[in-house]
Each structure stands twice: as structure tokens, then as C-alpha cells.
Chains A and B, each alone.
Chain A
Amino acid sequence: MISGISIYEILTVSTIIFFIGIYGFVTRKNLIAMLMSVELILNSAALNFVIFNKYLFPNELGGAIFSIFIIAVAAAETALALAIIINLYRLIMSLKTDDLETMKY
């Protein structure tokens, strides 16, 4: 626990980052930029896990372990999505979501 910082303040920060991520996901038109917004969302969720673990159940480990799992899933997801994006760019030479019309060519 950080002395002088309550759980409410950290939850406020993670909430705001989550919704900034959602805003970016809706408004961005570039695939890589959308993926970065997803990273923001995943990070705020992981932060919530850790904060609840530390402030409410300081003698257990569940939150920390599940945020390790979140980090692993995010790494896998990013690697796969970037592989798909690079291949897509080879096909249609664009990354704008408006140009993506086919799922299989």
C-alpha cells in the first residue's frame, strides 16, 4: 500500500485510462493505433487486478498472478496482430480501416 494514496484514487486513474483506450479504439482509423488503444485497456485492467490484490487481500497472490497472465496474453495478441497487419499491408498496401473490405481474398 502506498502511504497517503487511497484505493479510490488509483481506481480513478485506471478508469480514466480504460475509457481513454475505448475512445482511441473508436476514433482511430489506423490498425496499429487501434492496437495501441487495446494495450491501454489491457493495462488498466491489469492495474485493477493488482490494486485490488494489494489493498483488499494483501496476503494472497491471485491478482498479481492474473496480471502476469494478462501481460502474457497481451504479448501473444500483439505479436499475432502485428503479423496479420504486416501481411495485410503486403496485400492491400494500406492500414486504414476503411480500406479493409475482404477477410479472405
Chain B
Amino acid sequence: MIVFAAMTVSNKNIMRSIIYLLFVLIGMAAIYFMIEFYFLGAVQLTVYAGGIIVLYVNSVMLVEKINNPLPSAALWRRLLAGFLSALGIALTLIAVWSYDFSVVTENQAKEISIEDIGVALLGYGDHGYILPFEVISVLLLAAMVGAIVIAKTNKQKEIANK
């Protein structure tokens, strides 16, 4: 997965880097399945690997010649970014490995089912998430309307320009 992630950000061909991104997302879904969050793994596979990757592929095909190599940044910039990223990785890993997580090992009998997630999403009690659920639905609606508006106004302006 790490190798695929590195290939995603370093490959010169944008189509290939999209496919490597797809592999990373599938690996994430595999981790979700391994820790028995089946619903989440399924959502990851459908929304990310199914939807978002297709969006990327379509938009790349619409806007660019696929064979054009991507322009890469200047060498000093790449070195600086690599150095800072390595520094960040080192600091975060030191922090993570020196912290003593109180991992719960026993009492793993309860498996989270889709029913539990649905009840929790729509519950308004102690462990209910009705408010973020509503907020996210409004956000999705706003994003959809926004995308339509962006596409439409520009098309009208283009026609006016012609």
C-alpha cells in the first residue's frame, strides 16, 4: 500500500497514478474488512473505488491528453518537500510509538452490524448522530447544486461570448 501511495504521487503518467490510487483505496478497504467493519469496507469500495476513481478517469480524459507526462516540480522543491515529509513522519512515529495505548483485547464478542450503524446514525439519544447526519445531507445537496450552477453559468457565458 505504501509503495502504491508513493507511486501515486511520483508517477509521470496521470492515468497510471490514478490506477495506483485505486490500489491504495482497495488496500484501505481490505484493512476495513480485516478488522471486521464490513459496512465501512463496502462503502469504501463503492464510493471511492467505484465512484471517485471513475470521476477522476472521466475528468482526465475530458481535459488532457493522457500521454502528456506530468510536469514535475523543481529539484530543490522536491528535496525540501521530501525532507519535511520525512521529518513529519519521524516526529509522528516517535510520538505514536512512545505513547502507551490501552488496547482493549478481551470482550471482542460484539460485532458491529449494519443495523447498529443505521440505528446510531438516526438516533437522537446518547449515542445518536442525527445532527451530523442532517448536516452531511445538507452539505451533499449544496455540493450537488453548486456543481450544477458552476457548470451551467459558464456554459451560458461561453454561448454569450460566441
Q: How far is the CB of B35 from chain A (nearest CB, A)?
A: 5
Residues of chain A contacted by B78 (CB below 8 angstroms): 27
By the criterion of a CB under 8 Å from any partner CB, how many residues of chain B are at the interface? Answer: 79
Contact mask A58-74 → B, CB, 8 Å, 1/0? Answer: 11111011111101111
A50 to B120, CA, bound (A): 16
A66 to B110, CA, bound (A): 19
Q: How far is the CB of A43 from chain B (nearest CB, A)?
A: 5
Given A29-B70, A64-B37, A96-B71; A85-B63 close (CB under 8 Å): yes
Number of A-B residue pairs, CB cutoff 8 Å, is: 214
Q: How far is the CB of A48 from chain B (nearest CB, A)?
A: 10
Residues of chain B contacted by A86 (CB below 8 angstroms): 59, 62-63, 151
Given A7-B101, A15-B89, A55-B103; A23-B82 close (CB under 8 Å): yes
Nearest A residue (CB) for B32: A50
Given A1-B35, A61-B120, A64-B37; A76-B139 close (CB under 8 Å): yes
Q: Report yes or no: A40 in contact with B104, Cβ–Cβ below 8 A.
A: no
Q: Report yes or no: A95 in contact with B64, Cβ–Cβ below 8 A.
A: yes
Given A12-B93, A17-B2; A87-B9 close (CB under 8 Å): no
Q: Report yes or no: B73 in contact with A8, Cβ–Cβ below 8 A.
A: no
Interface residue tally of chain A, by bracket?
35 or more
Q: Which A residues between 23 and 64 are near B, CB-CB below 8 angstroms?
A: 23-24, 26-30, 32-33, 35-37, 39-40, 43, 46-47, 50-51, 54-62, 64
Nearest B residue (CB) for A82: B59
Residue among B5, B10, B24, B102 with the most chain A CB within 10 A?
B5
Q: Report yes or no: B9 in contact with A64, Cβ–Cβ below 8 A.
A: no
Q: Report yes or no: B77 in contact with A68, Cβ–Cβ below 8 A.
A: no
A8 to B101, CA, bound (A): 9
A15 to B21, CA, bound (A): 17
Q: How far is the CB of B34 from chain A (nearest CB, A)?
A: 5
Residue pairs across A and B with Cβ atoms less than 8 A apart, 18 shown, are: A16-B89, A18-B92, A21-B5, A24-B8, A26-B81, A27-B73, A27-B81, A36-B9, A36-B21, A37-B9, A39-B52, A40-B8, A72-B139, A73-B139, A75-B51, A80-B147, A85-B59, A90-B158
